[in-house]
Amino acid sequence: MIKACIFDLDGVIVFTDRYHYLGWKKLADEEGWKFDESLNHQLRGVSRMQSLQIILDHNSLDVSDDQKAEFADRKNRYYQELLDDISNDDLYPGAVEFVQRVRDRGIATALGSSSKNADRVLTALSIKDLFDAVVTGHDLTRTKPDPQIFQLCNEGLGNLPVTECVVFEDAESGIAAALAAGMHAVGVGDADQLPNADQVIKEYSEINLDQLLANGRVR
């Protein structure tokens, strides 16, 4: 029986992807770097500094650690400015309702996001109370695909048996982290981009909740 559902934030509960894209795009345009949506897809589930390194490598750039820090801080400022416009329109359709249905069945819920802005997003959308435990980038010493984020979520829920936890993720690095933690892994998005997920959904309405709680399968 499943006793806990753990959710990533970006692309699973709320679409902040476009804000990250616009933040990186503004920085790239200022610096004259090549950056498009295809490259942006490689940044999903990856920390800010790792994302920056991917962009620098794509542009064959080698810069100092101080310069990297300045680039990352500048992008984060742009992202935070863009978050001023976040609203319920940015929520993944059906996500909040699904989390509430899970909670109504007495199942614990946690949110695990590598973003250091996750608390701000949760507060702005008034959805922080939907989660019994919240782990953000501020809590991590290792990033996905390391399982630390989901292990910390489980600690916040009281250390349930990992086989009784199911993770919802939209990035392959997150799926890998969930599987490394020994948990069930449900992909959210396109199946061809999440080949290692146990199962993949595009809509929360696809989930048979009784089936999920019985054995971790969505259908």
The answer to whether the beta carbons of residues 203 and 191 sit under 8 Å apart is no
Buried (b) or exposed (e) across 83-116, using 16+ Cβ within 10 A? beebeeebbbeebbebbeebbeeebbbbbbbbbe
pLDDT greater than 80 at residue 182: yes
Cα–Cα distance for residue pair 32/192, rounded to 1 Å: 32
Predicted pLDDT of residue 174: 95
Residues 114 and 61 in one domain: no
Number of domains, the chain: 2
Residues 154 and 173 in one domain: yes
Residues 72 and 155 in one domain: no
Residue 5: which residues within 8 A CB-CB, separation 6 or more?
99, 102, 107, 108, 109, 110, 165, 166, 168
Predicted pLDDT of residue 165: 98
Cα–Cα distance for residue pair 6/153, rounded to 1 Å: 7
Residues 169 and 105 in one domain: yes
Residues 40 and 122 in one domain: no
Task: Judge whether 85 counts as a catalytic residue.
Answer: no
Predicted pLDDT of residue 81: 93
End-to-end CA distance of the chain: 15
| Domain end among 42, 58, 83 | 83
Q: Which of 61-70, 76-85, 146-155, 158-167 has the lowest mean pLDDT?
A: 76-85
Average of pLDDT values for 121-136?
97
Q: 13 burial class (0-12, 13-18, 19+ CB within 10 angstroms)?
A: buried
Task: Judge whether 62 counts as a catalytic residue.
Answer: no
pLDDT greater than 90 at residue 44: no
| Domain end among 42, 66, 83 | 83
Residues 98 and 110 in one domain: yes
Residues 108 and 192 in one domain: yes
pLDDT greater than 90 at residue 17: no
Dihedral of the CA atoms 116, 8, 88, 28 (nearest 10)? 50
- At 22, which CATH number? 1.10.150.240
Residues 111 and 155 in one domain: yes
Residues 113 and 191 in one domain: yes
Catalytic option among 8, 90, 170, 198? 8
Tell me which residue has tokens 């490259």.
39
Cα–Cα distance for residue pair 123/130, rounded to 1 Å: 11
Residues 8 and 37 in one domain: no
- At 144, which CATH number? 3.40.50.1000
pLDDT greater than 90 at residue 47: no
The domain of 46 spans 17-83
Residues 79 and 187 in one domain: no
Residues 48 and 150 in one domain: no
pLDDT category at 181 given cuts 50, 70, 90 is: very high
| Domain end among 83, 107, 141 | 83
Predicted pLDDT of residue 41: 85
pLDDT greater than 80 at residue 45: no
Catalytic option among 10, 90, 170, 198? 10
Q: What are phi and psi of 8, to 5 degrees?
A: -70, 170
The answer to whether the beta carbons of residues 134 and 29 sit under 8 Å apart is no
Half-sphere exposure of 41 toward its Cβ, with a 13 Å CA cutoff?
Answer: 7
